């Protein structure tokens, strides 16, 4: 077991615990670009069309993209720190045209300021085809349509033991001390 003197200190431990390092949103990076994701307001929907023209015309907008312009790569949103098991369960794309959750990203706006990026994201017009969401595990048809398999009854019939119960709990989320943010820099050469 490690005790305090034996625990290796990270580069900024003292600054973190004393509040000296601040939050990423408080830092300033001259010349930085800002990105905002346009997210689905629906728990399950297909993007029928996206009109980026209004957003692209706004002052400060550098780029506007949908999933069609991004590499088709899967990732695990819980992939911090990198881990082989998390890599094997990569199941999300940064942007999609098939929203499975409220908040799934469907477009991204890049602008010269956070305010310009948010304004442009609000100007992206998305035409949605709403679909019935899976609201519980007992909705096997919807789960099958989502690629989770539709042979649930067969699997239960072959199981040695099954438990039938209903569990309910409040929505729970871990609480980060920092807003979700990322900063990256590029230096030529």
Helices (H), the chain: 13-17, 53-56, 84-88, 114-123, 140-145, 152-158
Which of 68, 133, 124 is CA-nearest to residue 99? 133
pLDDT one-digit tens code per residue, 111-147: 999 999 999 999 999 999 999 887 766 654 555 554 5
Across the range 163-178, mean pLDDT stands at: 72
Amino acid 132: pLDDT: 87
Q: What angle do CA 50, 53, 56 make, to 5 degrees?
A: 115
**Cα–Cα dist 50/125, whole Å:** 6
**Cα–Cα dist 182/179, whole Å:** 9
Per the structure block, which two tokens stand in for 9? 């200190």
How far does Cα 187 stand from its chain's mean position?
27
Under a CB-based contact definition with an 8 Å cutoff, are residues 146 and 133 in contact? Answer: no
Backbone angles phi, psi at 88, to 5 degrees: -70, -25
Res 187 pLDDT > 50: yes
The model's pTM? 0.67
Amino acid 92: pLDDT: 76
Across the range 5-14, mean pLDDT stands at: 62
Amino acid 136: pLDDT: 67
| Strand order through the sheet with 45-51 | 98-99, 45-51, 125-130
Q: Residue 67: CB partners within 8 Å, gap ≥ 6? A: 93, 94, 95, 96, 97, 106
pLDDT one-digit tens code per residue, 90-118: 777 889 999 988 999 999 999 999 999 99
Percent pLDDT > 70 in the chain is 72
Amino acid 12: pLDDT: 64
Q: Residue 107: CB partners within 8 Å, gap ≥ 6? A: 37, 38, 50, 52, 64, 65, 66, 95, 121, 124, 126
Across the range 164-178, mean pLDDT stands at: 71
């Amino acid at each position: 077991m490690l005790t305090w003197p034996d625990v290796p200190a990270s580069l900024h431990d003292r600054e973190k615990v004393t509040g000296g390092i601040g939050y990423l949103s408080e830092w300033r990076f001259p010349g930085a670009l800002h990105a905002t994701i346009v997210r689905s307001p629906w728990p399950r929907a297909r993007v029928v069309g996206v009109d980026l023209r209004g957003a692209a015309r706004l002052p400060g907008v550098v780029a506007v993209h949908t999933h069609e312009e991004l590499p088709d790569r899967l990732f695990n949103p819980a992939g911090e720190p990198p881990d082989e098991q998390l890599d094997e369960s990569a199941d999300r794309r940064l942007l999609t045209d098939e929203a499975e959750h409220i908040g799934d990203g469907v477009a991204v706006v890049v602008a010269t300021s956070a305010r310009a990026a948010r304004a442009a994201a609000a100007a992206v017009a998305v035409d949605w085809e709403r679909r019935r969401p899976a609201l519980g595990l007992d909705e096997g048809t919807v789960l099958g349509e989502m690629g989770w398999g539709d042979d649930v009854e067969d699997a239960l019939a072959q199981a040695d033991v099954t438990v039938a119960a209903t569990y309910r709990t409040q929505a729970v989320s871990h609480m980060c001390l920092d807003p979700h943010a990322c900063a990256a820099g590029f230096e030529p050469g």
